[in-house]
Every structure is written in structure tokens, then in C-alpha cells.
Amino acid sequence: MENKELNSRNAAWREDLRQAMSARERGAIPRATMNMLPPDYRIHCNEEVNQGLSEEQAVLEATRCLDCPDPQCVSGCPVSIDIPGFIKNIQRGRADLASAVLRATSALPAVCGRVCPQEKQCESRCLYNRMKKPPVAIGWLERYAADAARKADAPCPVPAERLGIKVAVVGSGPAGLSFAGDMIMRGYDVTVYEALHEIGGVLKYGIPEFRLPNEVVEAELDMLRRQGVEFVSDVIIGKTLSYDDLLDMGYKGIFVASGAGLPRFMGIEGENLIGIMSSNEYLTRVNLMGAGRPDYDTPVAEGRRVAVVGGGNTAMDSVRTALRLGASRAMIIYRRGETEMPARIEEVAHAKEEGVEFITLANPVEYLGDERGHVRAMRIQRMELGEPDASGRRSPRPIPGAIDEIEVDEVIVAVGVSPNPLIPRSIENLEVTDRGTIAVNERLQSSIPTLFAGGDIVRGGATVILAMGDGRHAAAEMHRQLQDE
Amino acid sequence: MYEIISKEHFSENVVRLDIKAPLIARSRKPGHFVIVRCGDKGERIPLTIADADTARGTITLVIQAIGVSTRKICALEPGDCLTDVVGPLGRATDIQRRGTVVCCGGGVGVAPLLPIIKAMKEAGNRVVSVLAARTRDLIILEDQVRAHSDEVIIMTDDGSYGQKGLVTDGVEQVILREKVDEVVTIGPAIMMKFVAALTRKYEVPTICSLNTIMVDGTGMCGACRVTVGGKMRFVCVDGPEFDAHQVDFDEMLMRMRAYS
């Protein structure tokens, strides 16, 4: 950051803020509570559940931050956001500058403030945890700063002078956008190719509006457009345009961030019955295609008794979507216990408030259909927890003979995804791992030197912020390589 | 936006559209399909590419008006635009010189069959094409098929044109009189099921092209999943062509009714 006054810990304004209140006084301030829509209202609409913090709440929450000399929260952030730097700008009433600090390391702060698992990252490292106090609400503050800057029409960062070097991005999800944002700032001409008709990848087709409104994503995209990033939809690299076409068009570097693709199924009896679908299909129909809304052509089954198999964020998104589409019984079926669930604690809490039933330590073993081939029931094997496995989670094992039947008319399978073979298959000489992900070195460079890759096409299935971290990392590495040439 | 350049009515409910999509026209191969969307609130639906003209930068689609989206698309006129056309998707047909190849198509299935007929002929095969429809008016692309086939057999359910009978009757005639090395079949799922049953009996290798329900068409949703040889396959990325003898057509027919 060039402007040291903006976020230097030694800046006079920041010294003053630190001196103004003792650590004890700061620690005595209770953690902010998020303003939320009431459950009985929100399950009948798609409006965002979390309404954000008011300015007053945000300034008070920012005051709680101890502005540690060696802030551990930063090391918990995959993109190393200067967390105290942006928080203290909020405290002094400069949300616009807080947003500028965020934008120095993150192309999508309004998104990250909403969907990052802060409780496992930055907030888990907050000094307050060691004092048995709740951590600073870093995620909510990030969201506050980004939203305030957006509402105030804060100017977007001005990119460096054009270098006249073209780079292409494959996929417009978090990894691709983060890469595009960094490269446009460095002065490259950036074109982002997207296979779908909408830009945004999983932010659009996957995460529902009640958690991440499309207008928030659109505002972030607009900022990138204003900075000069070009977006092209309906183009599949490897199909519509080949890798060689991109070279012929003058692209000097290509970043593949095509995301996770194929949904996994469990391979159990009856899984292809009508009414059973992947969470990808369900969420894409509703979020991307507008199914369930008037005038939209895409249909979606509106189940009464809906079971969602899985315990991740996608499972929570699916089960809460089912509620909003009118399910009278919406259930999570998860083979481990609730403490082992990978979903964000906040999402689990929201789901419970909305009336989702959690059936844990239960694993589907068979689906039963009616005469028309429509699912009517599922059989679940009750489980118990055994010893911790490689991931440290206690692994579930079946309780012999403990099988129950649950009536369902719709089942959403949210047990993960495998890498999409589309791009790896279509680019010759591109090395792929046994798992089907693109093989890269520690610089995120593939077996083709000009081609870098990151996000879920490399990781298999991870989070928005890890994908964004890859985008930043790849941008830095590609920049270094192109400069050397 | 993808402009309709020309349009031809094959019958009341079947139209041919030439659509401006130069990148797809250039890269498509026989067997490929596209996903199209008509209107900002439209569905994404898969349609197999029937032909392409690289000079004009167009692809040809033949569409039968059977649902909400296909009716909208069939109503488009030259100068109108499709909102989205993306592709080419799927794996291209495995075209090889095998000897005698029977290409059998039913209804609008003849359209995506045409580029395969051409390519099979160009690869040096003897090509016998069997075209089938309910009645004379529904036989499409006969002249183009004749231009690239060694022989054409027409079958109609009502006997109003060619021979009276089903597509399987036509295919069986050929198998009984000469050695057939491969059968390619494209048409309604029920038709392909019966063709597969017939050629299984005679042990003739058979390729079918499946047109299942899809949303994204790029492997993401799994709506198009079918069981082939006891394993789950996605039509969009693993197909659309499969060994017809391995496909569980009954399950596929059931799944095609998900939204009807």
C-alpha cells in the first residue's frame, strides 16, 4: 500500500485510537449481533438473511479490536488481508478507506464478508479467543466496509498503465475474478471466458441470494468491468476456442479456473429415481435459471418432504432453498454428528431457526420409488461414531440392523463434487492428476508453461476464499514469468 | 446474441434454423451438440448440431416444437436472435472405416444423423440409411441423406411413403441380406431402445446418441445421468453417444418424464 497513512499501524491517527481506550475497556464491549430477518418472514422469500451491521454497531465492533502488534488474524486469512488496518479505518469512521485497504488484497470483499468461514480462519486466531471472549466479528466488519463503500459509490482502484500484454482467464468464479482483478491492476489486458450465460460462476449458480444477493456480485463485477476487465460468456475454452486459438489471438498467459464440475452421487439403489438430484442441479435451476419464480421457463420440482444428503454449506443452501420453495418438511441427512459438519456454524444456526430438521448419524442406503418412478421413501442406516480418521474427525460406522425408512418426495444429494473433465480433456499435453484435477507446481503452473491453474479445478472442492487466494497467487507468478520474458 | 439467418419449415412442428455462431461452426464435429437459451428467462436446452457452414459462420439446428422452449425457438424468424448458443459440447462421433454402416434415424433424429452419414461416407464406408417417421410429411432431409448414402430405405408407420413398418423392420432387412459392421441410431429413446434390442440379437455393434434433460450441459448438474453398462454416465461430457447395447433405456425413458 503506497499511502502509509491509510493503514500503517504507526500512523498518528491509529496511535490515537489505541491510546483512547484500554484493552480492558475494549474487552468489556460485547460482540455485535448481526441484524437478521426473522425466520418466519425470510422462509417465504429470497431476501438476504443477514442485514448487516449499522454504522454505529460497526464502529463499536471495530473499537473492540485490540490492534495487536503481531495480529494473528492476518495469518489466518488465505489472502492475508490487513485486518487491523481496515478495522481501525472503520473505527475512525472511514469505511471508504477501510474498503480501499480490503481492495488492496481482495477483489471481492463484499462476497468474502458474506461467505468466508471466518470462524475457522481469521476469527479463530483473534486474541480474544485466548481470553475466553468472542473474537472480533471480522467478517461482518469486512462486509460492512465493502457495502458502505458500494453504497457511497466509492471510486474503484485505478489500474497501472497498460502493458499491452494480453492474458486470458478460463472461468469467472472466485479464482478467475481474483486473478483478473490483480492482473488488470498490474496493467495487463484481461479477458475472462465463461462457459455459462452469466458471469460469476459459483457465486451466481451456487450460492443462493438469501446468503449472497446477486446485486452484490454484480457490483463487484461492475468494478472489474470499469477497471477494464473484459468478460465473454457462452465460450468454453477447449471447445468453442482451443488453447491454440488463444495463443493465436495473442494471449501470453492463461489462467484456468474452471471450478469443480461433476456432482458426486453415492451409487446406491434407486438413486436415479425422479425427484433425486444433485445439489448442483437443484441450486442451478433455482439460482441461475430462476426456477420457481413466475415467468421463468425452467422447472424445478417443489417437494413437500425434502431430504438433503450431506453436511456442508451446499447442503445447507439446498435445504434452506427447499424451505423457501414450500417444503413442509426439510431435512438434513448426515452420516456423522453435528459437531463434525463441515458447514459454517452460522449457516447451521440459520437453518435450525428456519425449521430444518437435522437427522445426523444417518446414511442413505436405498431409495424407493412409486409406479411412475418417482422417489417416495428413503432407507437410512443409523450410524455411531468410531475412532478419529485421517482428517481428525471421528469416522462413522453403521449400527447393525438399525435401518429406518423416511417418506420423501424429493432428495438433494450434496456429498461433494469431482473435477470437471471438460477442460483437462480438451487441452492436449495438459497433465492431470489421478483425481482428475489439473497438476500444478508450487507456482500454480501446469505442465504447459504458459498455463496456470487454481481454485477447485486444482483443489477438487474447497472454499471461495481459497480459490481467491489461488487467483492472487497465480497472478503474481504469471506476472513474474511474463516480466522475465 | 445469435441471429437466425435462415429458416425452413420441414413440417408443421419441425423447423430448420441456420444460426450465426461462427466459432461453433468452425470447431464442431459430427456428434456434437449445443445448449441454447431463448429469452432472458428461458431454459437451457440441448440440441444436436445438424450441419455447419464455416463460410457463412452458421450452424444448423432442426427443432421439433414439443415443449415451452422448443415452441419459442420454432417461432423465431430470420433476423430474430437466440439469447445464448454455447458449444460444441459432448464428444464427437468416432468415425472410422468399418465396412458397411447402417445409419437409422427417426423423426427429427435424422438431422443430427446427417453429419454422421456424411462423415461415414467420406471415411470410405458403404452407408445404408434408414429413415423412419409416422407418415410421409414427417420424413425430413431425404435428399441430403440420399446425396451421401449408398442406399436409402424409407419406413413409415402408415405406409404413406416407402415401406410400411417400423425403423427396426428396415434395419433388419439390411442385416439379413448383408454383413453390417456398425449401426448408428438417433431418434426418440423408445425407437433407439428397439433398434438396440434388434441389433443385440444379431450382435451388430450399435451406437446411439442420447438427448436427455440437461441444465448446464457442461458436467455440472448431473440431470443427464444415465446408466451404461451398469455405471453412471453423464450424457453431456461422457456422451452423447454410447454403446446402445449397454444403455439402460427403460431408466432413461422414466427419467425423461421427470417434468412432464
Give the pLDDT confidence of B115-169 residue by residue, as tens digits: 999 999 999 999 999 999 999 989 999 999 999 999 999 999 999 999 999 999 9
Per-chain mean pLDDT for chain B: 95
- Confidence band for A395, pLDDT divided at 50, 70 and 90: confident
Q: Which residue has the cell 450410524?
A: A383
CA trace torsion A19, A20, A23, A26 (10° rounding): -150
Per-residue pLDDT for A435 more than 90?
no
A422·B216 Cβ contact <8 A: no
Per-residue pLDDT for B100 more than 90?
yes
What mean pLDDT do residues A252-276 have?
A: 94
DSSP conformational letter for A340:
G
- Confidence band for A2, pLDDT divided at 50, 70 and 90: very low
CA distance A319 to A333: 10
The partner residue sitting opposite B223, judged by closest CB among A233, A267, A277, is: A277
CB within 8 A of B22, min separation 6: which ones? B54, B57, B58
Closest-CA distance of chain B to residue A334, Å: 21
What mean pLDDT do residues A392-407 have?
A: 91
- Confidence band for A64, pLDDT divided at 50, 70 and 90: very high
Tell me the chain B residues in contact with residue A421 when contact means C-beta distances shorter than 8 Å. 219, 237
In chain A the first and final C-alpha atoms are separated, in Å, by 27
* Helical segments of A65-124, H only: 72-75, 83-91, 95-103, 109-115
Which of B215, B225, B248 best probes binding to A when mutated, by most A CB atoms within 10 angstroms?
B215
DSSP notation for A111-169: HHHHHS-GGGTGGGG-HHHHTTSPPP-HHHHHHHHHHHHHHTTPPPPPPPPP---EEEE
Choose the weakest-confidence range: A127-141, A205-219, A381-395: A381-395
Instruction: Characterize the bridge pairing of strands B182-186 and B100-106.
Output: parallel
Percentage above 70 pLDDT, chain A: 99
Nearest to A8 by CA among A84, A90, A64, A93: A84
DSSP notation for A33-54: --EE--HHHHTTS---SEEE--
Secondary structure of B33-57 as H, E, C letters:
EEEEECCCCCCEEEEECCEEECCCC
Q: What is the pLDDT of residue A420?
A: 80
B216·A196 Cβ contact <8 A: yes
CA distances from B13 to A220, B66, B67, B136, B140 (A): 44, 8, 11, 14, 12
Q: Which residue has the cell 489462467?
A: A255
- Grid cell digits, residue B85: 448458443
CB pairs under 8 A between A and B: 116
Output the pTM of the full model.
Answer: 0.93
Tell me the chain A residues in contact with residue B27 when contact means C-beta distances shorter than 8 Å. 239-242
Per-residue pLDDT for A91 more than 90?
yes
- Confidence band for B11, pLDDT divided at 50, 70 and 90: confident
A272·B225 Cβ contact <8 A: yes
Kindly list the domain boundaries of chain A, sorted by start residue.
17-33+48-151, 166-261+419-484, 263-416
A280·B220 Cβ contact <8 A: yes
Q: What is the pLDDT of residue A1?
A: 42
What mean pLDDT do residues A259-273 have?
A: 92
B68 touches chain A (CB under 8 A): yes
Per-residue pLDDT for A277 more than 80?
yes
B179 touches chain A (CB under 8 A): no
Nearest to A119 by CA among A352, A346, A320: A346
B70 touches chain A (CB under 8 A): no
The partner residue sitting opposite A284, judged by closest CB among B69, B216, B257, is: B216
Other Cβ atoms less than 10 A from the Cβ of A391: the count is 9
Closest-CA distance of chain A to residue B57, Å: 13
| pLDDT: which is higher, A156 or A68 | A68
Nearest to A133 by CA among A249, A234, A241, A23: A23
Nearest to A400 by CA among A369, A368, A365: A365
Per-residue pLDDT for A147 more than 90?
yes
Which of A237, A248, A262 best probes binding to B when mutated, by most B CB atoms within 10 angstroms?
A262
Tell me the chain B residues in contact with residue A262 when contact means C-beta distances shorter than 8 Å. 219-220, 222, 234, 237
CA distance B69 to B78: 18
Q: Which residue of A has its CA nearest to B259?
A: A299
> Do residues B192 and B208 make contact, with C-beta atoms less than 8 angstroms apart?
yes
Instruction: Characterize the bridge pairing of strands A451-453 and A251-256.
Output: parallel
Q: Which residue of A has its CA nearest to B258?
A: A274
What mean pLDDT do residues A82-110 have?
A: 93
> Do residues A61 and A32 make contact, with C-beta atoms less than 8 angstroms apart?
yes
Assign domain A166-261+419-484 to its CATH superfamily.
Answer: FAD/NAD(P)-binding domain (3.50.50.60)
Closest-CA distance of chain B to residue A287, Å: 12
Per-residue pLDDT for A485 more than 90?
no
Q: What is the pLDDT of residue B15?
A: 95
Total number of residues shown for chain A? 485
Q: What is the CATH number of domain A263-416?
A: 3.50.50.60
Identify the CATH assignment for A17-33+48-151 out of 1.10.3210.10, 1.10.1060.10, 3.40.1590.10, 3.40.50.20: 1.10.1060.10
Per-residue pLDDT for A80 more than 50?
yes
User: Are A166-261+419-484 and A263-416 in the same CATH fold?
Assistant: yes
Tell me the chain B residues in contact with residue A261 when contact means C-beta distances shorter than 8 Å. 218-220, 237
B33 touches chain A (CB under 8 A): no
Collapsing DSSP to helix, strand or coil, A9 comes out as coil
Q: What is the pLDDT of residue A473?
A: 94
What mean pLDDT do residues A455-462 have?
A: 88
B219·A421 Cβ contact <8 A: yes
Per-residue pLDDT for A423 more than 90?
no
Closest-CA distance of chain B to residue A394, Å: 30
A197·B85 Cβ contact <8 A: no
Closest-CA distance of chain B to residue A50, Å: 28
Q: What is the pLDDT of residue B164?
A: 95
The partner residue sitting opposite B89, judged by closest CB among A239, A265, A425, is: A239
Tens of pLDDT, residue by residue over B70-88, are: 999 999 999 999 999 999 9
What mean pLDDT do residues A390-414 have?
A: 91
Give the Cα-Cα-Cα angle A331, A335, A341 (nearest 5 degrees): 80
The partner residue sitting opposite A234, judged by closest CB among B43, B85, B254, is: B85
A297·B68 Cβ contact <8 A: yes
Q: What is the pLDDT of residue A393?
A: 76
What mean pLDDT do residues A191-202 have?
A: 96
B84·A281 Cβ contact <8 A: no
CA distances from A224 to A217, A351, B31 (A): 11, 33, 38
Please report the ipTM that was assigned to this predicted complex. Answer: 0.93
Per-residue pLDDT for B3 more than 80?
yes
Tell me the chain B residues in contact with residue A240 when contact means C-beta distances shorter than 8 Å. 23-24, 27, 86-88
CA distance A328 to A324: 10
Q: Which residue of B has its CA nearest to A298?
A: B43
A265·B232 Cβ contact <8 A: yes
The partner residue sitting opposite B255, judged by closest CB among A205, A274, A420, is: A274
CA distance B122 to B113: 14
Q: Which residue of B has its CA nearest to A239?
A: B88
> Do residues B51 and B118 make contact, with C-beta atoms less than 8 angstroms apart?
no
Per-chain mean pLDDT for chain A: 93
Q: What is the strand order of the sheet B126-133 is part of?
A: B163-164, B151-156, B126-133, B100-106, B182-186, B206-209, B241-243
What mean pLDDT do residues A3-20 have?
A: 86
Q: What is the pLDDT of residue A3?
A: 60
Per-residue pLDDT for A106 more than 70?
yes
- Grid cell digits, residue B241: 453417444
